């Protein structure tokens, strides 16, 4: 008969509970940092898909399609194992094709390797996880940003340019603020997906929540309890993120902002008599 023992989280001065808390902290860090980079990259490549420059479109489209349509875990392995080889290969190629001096190529490679060995201290897994999650999620965000921009009537961009604004200024001050209000719901989904996808960083040795739950299971042989606790933590974390972003979406919507301005105007009229 199956029996469950939840006391494993209280023995040894809450040792296994602390492991899960440490894993949660790593999950929060890697998710938050990756969200920032994913938003920046996604916005850049989303705008790039709509650029008038054929070169920018040719760069943006393959980036989005490649990272959207390849498994995240494969990308994580690439950034962890393959990025170093790719860097050395490109520097070697640049040196021998005459783009830079071979001496400079060897010097740069040596310096980068020395800096990485000195400062690495077990952080390569964490950094590779951030890069993999950021790039993977940014490809989805880029399509969301592109759709948000395309949902704005083209006449607004033309009107902005007719007033003397450049295309960049029109995007920054007129188009993007409206587009980002529209795309908040799908962005919430991507942020939730990123948080849950961070568990795949376990594959390259990032000691996040799922990794630590597996460690608890390995030491206690209580897999059900360990992974149930991790599942509950993920659920609570996802609900908090969803509630926070939905609250932000509600309070920054155009309808609510218009109502607040209307109330402020009414109060001002009452104050003036």
What's the domain range around 98? Answer: 18-271
Is residue 7 in some structural domain?
A: no
pLDDT, the chain, mean = 84
What percent of the chain is modeled with pLDDT above 90? 50
> Who has greater pLDDT, 269 or 56?
56
Is residue 76 in some structural domain?
A: yes
Q: How many domains does the chain have?
A: 1
d(CA 73, CA 186): 23
Q: What CATH number does residue 51 fall under?
A: 1.10.3720.10
Is residue 223 in some structural domain?
A: yes
**125-153 pLDDT tens trace:** 898 899 999 999 999 999 999 999 999 88
With a threshold of 0.85, does the pTM exceed it? no
Is residue 4 in some structural domain?
A: no
- 49: tokens are 């898909």
pLDDT, position 5 = 78
pLDDT, position 18 = 93
């Amino acid at each position: 008969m199956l029996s469950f023992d939840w006391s494993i989280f209280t023995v040894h001065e809450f040792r296994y509970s602390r492991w899960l808390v440490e894993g949660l902290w790593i999950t929060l860090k890697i998710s938050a940092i990756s969200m920032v980079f994913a938003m920046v990259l996604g916005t850049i490549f989303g705008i790039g898909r709509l650029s008038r420059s054929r070169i920018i479109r040719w760069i943006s489209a393959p980036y989005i399609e490649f990272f959207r349509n390849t498994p995240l875990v494969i990308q994580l392995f690439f950034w962890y194992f393959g990025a170093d080889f790719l860097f050395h290969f490109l520097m070697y190629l640049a040196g021998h094709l005459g783009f830079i001096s071979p001496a400079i190529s060897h010097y740069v490679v040596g310096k980068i390797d020395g800096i990485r060995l000195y400062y690495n201290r077990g952080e390569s897994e964490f950094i590779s996880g951030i890069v993999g999650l950021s790039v993977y999620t940014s490809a989805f965000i880029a399509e969301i940003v592109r759709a948000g921009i395309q949902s704005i009537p083209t006449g607004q961009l033309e009107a902005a340019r007719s007033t003397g604004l450049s295309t960049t200024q029109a995007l920054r001050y007129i188009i993007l603020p409206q587009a980002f209000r529209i795309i908040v719901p799908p962005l919430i989904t991507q942020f939730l997906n990123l948080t849950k996808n961070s568990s795949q960083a376990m594959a390259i040795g990032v000691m996040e929540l799922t990794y630590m739950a597996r460690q608890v299971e390995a030491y206690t042989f209580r897999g059900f309890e360990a992974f149930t606790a991790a599942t509950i933590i993920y659920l609570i974390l996802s609900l908090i993120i969803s509630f926070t972003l939905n609250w932000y979406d509600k309070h920054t919507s155009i309808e609510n902002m218009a109502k607040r301005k209307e109330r402020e105007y009414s109060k001002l009229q009452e104050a003036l008599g």
